[in-house]
Amino acid sequence: MGTPEAAVPTLRRCLEDGHEVVSVWTQPDRPAGRGNRLAQSPVKEFALSSGLKVHQPAKIRNEEALNLFASDDADVAVVVAYGRILPAAFLSAPRRGCINVHFSLLPLYRGAAPVNWAIVRGEDETGVTTMRMNEGLDTGAILQQRATKIGVEETATELMSRLAADGAELLSETLARLDEIEELEQSEEKATFAPMLRREDGLIEWALDAFQIERRVRGFQPWPNAFTKHRESRLVVWRARAEKVLERAGKEGEVVSANGDELIVACGDLTALRLLEVQPEGKRRMSVRDYLNGTRLSAGERFG
């Protein structure tokens, strides 16, 4: 049971390990792109290319969906970013229960966006957890965990790709050792949360220090992205570097320097953000030099 690209490596590994995948459950096709054409999830695309049976119920909290799920007669359900909270009847349907691959070191960062928030909140380390699912939100007993350092320039997209591979490996080990693993109950006192991202989360608050903003630039990829306003148009910041300044160089959000390859914006706490790669509204991603060549921007103007 999974939907995004991050769930594909685990499904692939289940097949490589010789497990019989009796069915694949994924979200219904959604409109996507400028033409709003229905698009299949990455998991569905891979499943169909592998000759697997696919189910895409619009709702799962009904008798029809439960009967369909139970009819698979599965030993275990493997859940990776499926996108729905499973009701109790689903959790008890497989003989060995439901095992989730979660992209954090639980009980840290329970919720929908653990990779993004781990970067935004400045964590040095994260990882993957295999967990026996219960009715709570990522509250089930821990089976196995694997930690990894977060790179100082790593984006959420890059980190997610690494964790997806680690998660597939860990799930493989978990299934192989399922009879001997000692389950560990999570500590509620140590729990933290990673709520679903909203578009407004990406709006840059220039009063924050530049190091916090730089983490948002990396952490809010590929959506909602870190963005600001310039002359009423949206400007996405794809790459940036935080810098300390010795004295106040300008008001928060004020352009301190705009010349050649250099676009520096004043931030809170006597810091500045050096923009490296941006995307003006309706245009492609580009270097700051290309952006400045096409935009009349001078020191003293303000973003936001």
The C-alpha R_g of the chain, in whole angstroms, comes to 22
Q: Report how far residue 266's alpha carbon sits from residue 253's, in angstroms, rounded to the nearest whole number.
A: 5
- Which residues on adjacent β-strands are paired with residue 127? 147
In sequence order, what E strands does the chain have?
24-25, 30-32, 37-39, 54-55, 77-79, 98-102, 125-132, 141-149, 226-230, 233-244, 255-259, 262-267, 271-280, 286-287
Joined together, the tokens standing for residue 209 give: 């220090």
What is the predicted pLDDT for the residue at 32?
A: 82
Per-residue pLDDT of the chain (304 residues; tens, 9 = 90+): 999 999 999 999 999 999 999 999 999 999 887 778 899 999 999 999 999 999 999 999 999 999 999 999 999 999 999 999 999 999 999 999 999 999 999 999 999 999 999 999 999 999 999 999 999 999 999 999 999 999 999 999 999 999 999 999 999 999 999 999 999 999 999 999 999 999 999 999 999 999 999 999 999 999 999 999 998 999 999 999 999 986 766 799 999 999 999 999 999 999 999 999 999 999 999 999 999 999 989 999 999 9
CA distances from 75 to 40, 92, 284 (A): 27, 11, 48
What is the predicted pLDDT for the residue at 257?
A: 93
Domains and CATH numbers, the chain: 5-190 (3.40.50.170), 199-294 (3.10.25.10)
Among the listed residues 88, 124, 117, the one whose alpha carbon sits nearest the alpha carbon of residue 103:
117
pTM attached to this predicted model: 0.95
Q: Rounded to the nearest 5°, which phi and psi values hold at 115?
A: -70, -45
- What type of residue sits at position 16? E
Joined together, the tokens standing for residue 284 give: 């492609």
Q: Would you say the C-alpha torsion 201, 207, 213, 217 has a positive or negative sign?
A: positive
- Crossing angle of helices 8-16 and 156-176, in 10° steps, is 30
Among the listed residues 179, 176, 92, the one whose alpha carbon sits nearest the alpha carbon of residue 140:
92
Enclosing H/E stretch for 291: helix 288-294
- What type of residue sits at position 285? R
Q: Would you say the C-alpha torsion 273, 274, 276, 277 has a positive or negative sign?
A: positive
